[in-house]
């Protein structure tokens, strides 16, 4: 009998996992079905294709990832290896990122403790992570002290805000002898632009708002953020390169990263096709209609993903705290570091190019 064309895939391996197996062998040979297979596909796509020299990689971070230690353990090594070129994060992840760099500690705990008791004892809980209420108060005071500095008394985008904040956090790390703890400090050192899609929706935004009541003049310009992120993607394409997105979670950061292409095409009228690579780790379902679970094929309909590049998209449905360490370890083990793009320093040039292309598009449409 002729063998069905559907039975040409690699045979399922049921051999025992060896002792001391390397992460590469574990992923390549034992992540074989269901979401383990999707995680393997995501990991291999990121490592084997997205990390090519011509791909500009944006990473989005949603969910309480930095409190779980994933900022220092995963995002920092990826930045240092040149594997992340720009970031969109919730403000909460950046706020909790600062705890570690200014000398505070968070602790492993239980999700089943009595929260009424925790409240009485001044303990904060993020599922099974516990820390002292004073950590919040100290971190709030740290951000308010920075926002009061003269250099912050103006309007700026969140990339500039985080770059300036990162300089202070890096200095605090050095003073305390803490190494590689902070995403913002590392992003400052490697000039990786870091954006927050909803600046008011975090303790950082709350402290900025409080300082405005006291007469301080920091204002965060979301319009600048929208245009700068679009300029980063357009710049990657116009230099003959490609654009890839690595999405952990969903929500506002996911949309903010993907809307760069509709901003370029639909709003600014510039001829473009969409991102070239799309990898997402999520626990959100597509059938609820929310953006968090929206698939790459749905993104094609919006112009967010290049239709011809749909095969270079993967969604793995699992917890980011499981996927991120595996993907980070695999990438670091299998690819040499890339030269950092230091896109923060290129933003004026990229914005100038975006304005010129937008102006040309307006002239053509008249």
**pLDDT by residue (tens digit) across 115-173?**
999 999 999 999 999 999 999 999 999 999 999 999 999 999 999 999 999 999 999 99
304 as an active site residue: the answer is yes
Per-residue model confidence as pLDDT tens digits over 286-319? 877 777 877 778 888 888 888 888 888 999 999 9
Domains of the chain, residue spans: 35-103+137-365
- Per residue in 93-108, pLDDT (tens digit) is 999 999 999 999 999 9
pLDDT at residue 290, rounded to an integer: 77
Structure confidence at residue 123 (pLDDT): 96
The yes-or-no verdict on residue 15 having pLDDT over 90 is: yes
Q: pLDDT of 328-340, one tens digit each? A: 999 999 999 999 9
Can you give the pLDDT at residue 137? 97
Could you tell me the CA-to-CA distances from 319 to 127, 216, 256 in Å, in that order? 14, 40, 21
Closest-CA residue to 136 (of 150, 117, 122, 153): 122
Helix axes 158-176, 133-147, angle to 10 degrees: 120
Cα separation, 306 vs 271, whole angstroms: 12
Q: Is pLDDT larger for residue 4 or for residue 207?
A: 207
| Selected catalytic residue, list 40, 254, 304, 309 | 304
Give the C-alpha separation, 214 to 220, whole Å: 17
Rounded CA-CA distance 287/162 in Å is 35
Region 343-361: mean pLDDT is 97
Q: How high is the pLDDT of residue 264? A: 96
Q: Mean pLDDT in the chain?
A: 94
Among 79, 99, 192, 94, which residue's Cα sits nearest to residue 141? 99
Q: Which pLDDT tens digit goes with each residue over 234-291? A: 999 999 999 999 999 989 999 999 999 999 999 999 999 999 999 999 987 787 777 7
- Rounded to 10 deg, the angle between the 23-30 and 34-45 helix axes is 130
Residue 366, pLDDT > 80, answer no
Confidence of residue 1 (pLDDT cuts 50, 70, 90): low
- Read off φ and ψ for residue 121, nearest 5 degrees: -95, 5
Task: Say how far apart CA 193 and CA 329 lie, in whole Å.
Answer: 23
Report d(CA 75, CA 117) in Å as an integer: 34
Distances (CA, A) of 28 to 9, 13, 121, 332, 334: 14, 11, 47, 15, 12
Interval 162-219: pLDDT, tens: 999 999 999 999 999 998 889 999 999 999 999 999 999 999 999 999 999 999 999 9
Q: Quote the CA–CA distance of 270 and 170 in Å, as a whole number.
A: 38
Q: How far apart are CA 249 and CA 224, in angstroms?
A: 24
pTM above 0.85, yes or no: yes
Q: Could you please report the per-residue DSSP string of 277-341? A: EEEEEE---STT--GGG--HHHHHHTTSB-GGGGGGEEEEES-HHHHHHHHHHHHHHHSPPPPP-
Q: What is the pLDDT of residue 280?
A: 94
Cα–chain-centroid distance for residue 110?
Answer: 27
Residues in the chain: 366
Which is the CATH superfamily of the domain at 35-103+137-365?
A: Deoxyhypusine synthase (3.40.910.10)
How far is the C-alpha of 291 from the C-alpha of 294, rounded, in Å? 5
């Amino acid at each position: 009998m002729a063998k069905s064309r559907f039975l040409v895939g690699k045979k399922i391996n049921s051999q025992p996992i060896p002792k001391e197996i390397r992460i590469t062998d574990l992923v390549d040979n034992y992540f074989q079905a269901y979401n383990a297979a999707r995680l393997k596909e995501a990991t291999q796509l990121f490592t084997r294709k997205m990390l090519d020299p011509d791909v500009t990689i944006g990473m989005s971070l949603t969910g309480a990832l930095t409190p779980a230690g994933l900022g220092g353990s995963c995002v920092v090594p990826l930045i240092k290896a040149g594997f992340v070129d720009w970031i969109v994060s919730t403000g909460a992840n950046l706020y909790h990122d600062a705890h570690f760099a200014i000398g505070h500690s968070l602790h492993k705990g239980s999700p089943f403790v009595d929260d009424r008791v925790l409240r009485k004892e001044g303990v904060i809980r993020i599922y099974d992570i516990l820390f002292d209420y004073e950590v919040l108060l100290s971190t709030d005071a740290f951000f308010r002290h920075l926002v009061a500095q003269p250099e912050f008394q103006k309007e700026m985008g969140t990339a500039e805000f985080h770059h300036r904040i990162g300089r202070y956090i890096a200095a605090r790390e050095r003073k305390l002898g803490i190494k590689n703890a902070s995403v913002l400090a590392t992003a400052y050192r490697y000039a990786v632009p870091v954006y927050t899609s909803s600046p008011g929706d975090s303790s950082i935004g709350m402290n900025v708002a409080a300082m405005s009541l006291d007469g301080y003049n920091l204002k965060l310009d979301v319009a600048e953020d929208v245009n700068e992120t679009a300029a980063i993607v357009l710049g990657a394409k116009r230099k003959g390169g490609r654009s890839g997105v690595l999405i952990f979670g969903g929500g506002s950061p996911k949309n903010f990263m993907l809307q760069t292409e509709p901003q370029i095409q639909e709003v600014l009228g510039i001829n473009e096709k969409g991102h070239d690579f799309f990898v997402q780790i999520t626990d959100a379902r597509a059938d609820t209609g929310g953006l968090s679970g929206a698939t790459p094929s749905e993104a094609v309909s919006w112009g967010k993903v290049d239709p011809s590049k749909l095969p270079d998209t993967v969604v793995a449905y699992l917890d980011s705290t499981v996927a991120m360490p595996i993907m980070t370890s695999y990438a670091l083990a299998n690819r040499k570091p890339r030269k950092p793009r230091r896109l923060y320093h290129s933003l004026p040039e990229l914005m100038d190019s975006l304005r010129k292309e937008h102006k040309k598009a307006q002239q053509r449409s008249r």
